[in-house]
Amino acid sequence: RNTKIIDIVTELKEYETQVDVYDPWIDPTEAEHEYGITPVQSVEKNTYDAVILAVAHEQFKEMGATAIRALGKNNHVLYDLKYVLSQAESDIRL
């Protein structure tokens, strides 16, 4: 597993933010045991101030920018760490 994602989650929580981790491939029991996080089983539209794409799963590529952006509230930020989307489709990339 990519433990850098855990570093991101830990850092964000230090700012007292609510962080939802969604990864359809992760075993929730393993994530809880190994990393102390409980991934959400689904994500809701118009919910997030920020969406961080931290894994390049094919499922996220197939969703496309429109569906991923639909998860965010108005004026959300879409941060693409793994180049899932084109530069024009994301707000910030590494």
Stated pTM of the model: 0.90
Structural tokens at position 92: 């910030």
Residue from 89, 7, 1 nearest 79 by CA: 89
Q: Is the pLDDT of residue 1 over 90?
A: no
Residue from 46, 40, 90, 94 nearest 70 by CA: 46
- Domain of 79 in residue numbering reads as 3-93
pLDDT tens digits, one per residue of 35-76: 999 999 999 999 999 999 999 999 999 999 999 999 999 999
Q: What is the mean pLDDT of the chain?
A: 94
> How many domains are there within the chain?
1
CB 61 within 8 A of CB 89: no
The three-state secondary structure class of 60 is: helix
Burial label, 50 (beta-carbon count in 10 A; 0-12, 13-18, 19+): middle
CATH number at residue 50: 3.40.50.720
Q: What is the structure's pLDDT at 66?
A: 98
